[in-house]
Copies of this chain bind each other. A is one copy, B any other.
Amino acid sequence: MKLHGVFALLLCIDCGAVQAAPLPIRVNGARIVQHLQALSEFGKNPQGGVSRVAYSDADRAGRQYVLGLMREAGLDVSIDTAGNLVGKHAGKDASLKPIVIGSHIDSVPEGGNYDGDVGSLGAIEAAQMFRERGVALRHPLQVIIFEDEEGVMLGSTAITQGLDAARLNSVSQSGKIVREGIKFLGGDPERLTEARRQPGSIAGYIELHIEQGAVLEQQHAQIGVVEGIVGILDSEVTVEGLANHAGTTPMNQRHDALLAAARFVEMLNREVTNVPGRQVGTVGWIKAQPGAYNVIPGQVTLGMELRDLDAGRIKALEQRIRNEADNIGRMNGTTFHFSPQQLSTPALTDRRVQALIEQSAKGLGLSTLHLPSGAGHDAQEMAALGPIGMIFIPSVGGISHSPREFSRPGDIENGVNVLLQSVLALDRAPELR
């Protein structure tokens, strides 16, 4: 018998025998916090938080830092043609499919230091602990740091279904065309299909993430076992009015596109909250043209977003909003146009992976709560390749996508321990189909 790792001598009270048993593996909480701190320097904002939007200089530099950590964790790291960082470690049984863990490190503009970062550095910490404790998994292990999750989920989409020309040619938050951004990160958009993976090609995917909501905190639960990830409908809405002089055009002769857009923002909020349920709807950006004090806006574009676990409900809500927009347009002679929607379909997590996560948390003495994810995650794309699971940890005040986003070091350490134990449990489990 060959022994690896750190052992404790256990005394059997009943039989009097002394036995060597492995100490339970626990991750290095201080190291995770230190890595989070170091990563937060890339794209740091003077007023707090980060703007490390995908394909920015800060994003590339941050990824370079993370690549170094992956190598230290003993992973064989490469950049796939979609620009994702992929770190591999062989398993004992080469015939088994890989267990994949990971997340992303790009942020929204003026975002925080936990969304994506915790899961990315947590996955690397798990790999590092396996190395340090000499744990040899049956399955190959892969850590993936996806690119452009916030943009949304481009890196994981490239792996699961590819990126069409429209997405490759779209402008990212960094200002770069996505195609150029992928090149900038070391990918190769001309050979994008090489990053594709086939359905059934993974043993499972587990992602640790901050909740980004306040449910765990309000319910005093330490670990969230995610039931599913909501679908998201994005649509660019254009309001066409008539630009005119703000001083000489009487109020009753205006076709003010911003006034109509304002009524739209209010109406969307009303429609979303008028019916029971956990659906949410947001207008996150708006642009009025030409955009001067003394000109009535002739055109307004804005971004509308709807989310729910039920795709049918999202579409019904969208239809009501479109109908109401037509009514608003008639009020002051403006017209509404909706871009072709991008709908990411809801994705349910695998019930057996949920159970593994649940048991791992319980084994660590942590309280759990089952809940849906209101945010989109790379996991929902990875669901196309095999069973997925997600682990949530509490976000203080439920604040996310904000410099004030914060998760406590203890909660982060708990989450990474659950991730590590869940990987061990998945590694031992019979293959999930």
A interface residues, Cβ below 8 angstroms from B:
108-111, 115, 150, 152, 173, 211-214, 230, 232, 234, 242-253, 256, 258-259, 261-266, 269, 272-273, 278, 280-286, 288-298, 303, 305, 307, 373-376, 395, 398-402, 404
A110 pairs with B290, CB closer than 8 A: yes
- Between A and B, 18 residue pairs with Cβ closer than 8 Å are A109-B291, A211-B248, A212-B247, A212-B248, A234-B293, A245-B374, A245-B400, A245-B401, A246-B280, A247-B375, A248-B398, A249-B280, A249-B374, A259-B269, A284-B296, A284-B297, A293-B303, A294-B375
Greatest chain B CB density within 10 A among A108, A115, A256, A376 is at A108
- Chain B residue numbers with a CB within 8 Å of A115 are 245
Q: Which of B244, B259, B284 contacts A246 (CB 8 A)?
A: B284
Query: Which A-B residue pairs are the 7 nearest by beta carbons?
Result: A213-B248, A262-B265, A248-B374, A246-B282, A247-B374, A262-B262, A212-B248
* A291 / chain B contacts, CB cutoff of 8 Å: 109, 284-286
Give the one of A111, A243, A399 with max B CB within 10 A: A243
- Contact residue among B242, B247, B284, B404 (Cβ-Cβ distance under 8 Å from A280): B247
Is A250 in contact with B284, judged by CB distance below 8 angstroms? no
Report the Cα distance A111→B243, complex, angstroms: 9
Indicate if the CB atoms of B249 and A398 lie closer than 8 Å: yes
Minimum CB–CB distance from A345 to chain B (whole Å) comes to: 15
Minimum CB–CB distance for A54 against chain B, Å: 12
Q: Across the interface, do A212 and B263 meet the contact criterion of CB distance under 8 Å?
A: no
Residue from A152, A266, A402 whose CB has the most chain B CB atoms within 10 Å: A402
- Measured CA separation A266–B261 after assembly (Å): 10
A278 to B247, CA, bound (A): 10
Number of copies: 2
A375 with B285, Cβ < 8 A, contacts A266-B263, A401-B243 known: no
A284 with B273, Cβ < 8 A, contacts A244-B400, A245-B401, A247-B375 known: no
Contact B266 A282 (CB under 8 A): no
The reply to whether B213 and A245 contact each other, CB–CB distance below 8 Å, is yes
Report yes or no: B232 in contact with A247, Cβ–Cβ below 8 A.
yes
- A244 touching B293 in the complex, CB below 8 Å, given contacts A213-B249, A265-B259: no
Choose one: B173, B244, B305; the contact of A401 (CB below 8 Å). Answer: B244
| Bound Cα distance from A263 to B297, whole angstroms | 17
Contact (Cβ within 8 A) A230 B247: yes
A256 to B273, CA, bound (A): 14
CA distance A248 to B305 in the complex (A): 13
Q: Chain B CB within 10 Å — which of A150, A213, A214, A246 has the most?
A: A246
A110, B243: Cβ atoms closer than 8 Å: yes
In the assembled complex, the Cα of A251 lies from the Cα of B214 at a distance in Å of: 12
